[in-house]
Amino acid sequence: MTVERRVIGVVGMPGSGKGIVDDVAKELKFLVVVMGDVVREETARRGLESTPENIGKMMLQIRKEEGSAVVAKRCVAKVVESESRCVLIEGIRSLDEVKEFRRNFPSFRLLAVHSSPETRFQRLFKRARSDDSASRGIFEERDGRELRVGIGAAIALADHVIVNEGEIEQFKAEIRRFLEPFLRE
């Protein structure tokens, strides 16, 4: 390839709005690679049901088996095989993954999306009340699993942060403002 690829990674806690970033990127004709899909594919390949719990456990399991950057490595292969010049990789969970992407794509940029825990809880458990301790437990367990993999450090070292607390259209506009310049580079 003579033209350098533009690769953007997305990191964010569950319920922060990463899926909306995917949607906007697809509209802009980015190739979108969802890191969770690699884990979902592996979960299915091993004959397990695709429940959030099984996928969460598989995320930890394959890291244990093949190292902390295993999912990133499989995504790099997907990107390299593709013909796309602008790529968005969604679902980064650690600095080891960030390093893997930077090593392969020198102009790699890391975008973090942030929503408060309260907002994320409301989005993920629409009918739950704040004092619904079962839902709270599931929510905090899921957050904890992500944090143990090291998602916090990746968020802390993001090149750009978009806050997703208000209207969805405003959030989408901010994502577009961030992504569009990469198309013109």
Write out the residues near a second copy by the rule CB under 8 A. 13, 95, 112, 114, 116-118, 143, 146-147, 150-161, 163
Specify the residue, 13 or 24, whose C-beta has the smaller distance to a second copy. Answer: 13
Specify the residue, 31 or 110, whose C-beta has the smaller distance to a second copy. Answer: 110
Specify the residue, 74 or 93, whose C-beta has the smaller distance to a second copy. Answer: 93
Task: Supply the minimum distance, in Å, between the C-beta of residue 78 and a second copy.
Answer: 26
Task: Supply the minimum distance, in Å, between the C-beta of residue 15 and a second copy.
Answer: 12
Specify the residue, 67 or 117, whose C-beta has the smaller distance to a second copy. Answer: 117
Residues with Cβ within 8 Å of residue 5, at least 6 apart in sequence: 79, 84, 85, 86, 87, 105, 107
Strand partners, 136: none
Specify the residue, 85 or 99, whose C-beta has the smaller distance to a second copy. Answer: 99
Task: Supply the minimum distance, in Å, between the C-beta of residue 152 and a second copy.
Answer: 3
Residue with tokens 């569009």: 180
Task: Supply the minimum distance, in Å, between the C-beta of residue 93 and a second copy.
Answer: 11
Burial 32-43 (b: 16+ CB within 10 A, else e): bbbbebbbbebb
Task: Supply the minimum distance, in Å, between the C-beta of residue 166 and a second copy.
Answer: 12
Residues with Cβ within 8 Å of residue 47, at least 6 apart in sequence: none
Phi and psi, residue 87, nearest 5°:
-130, 140
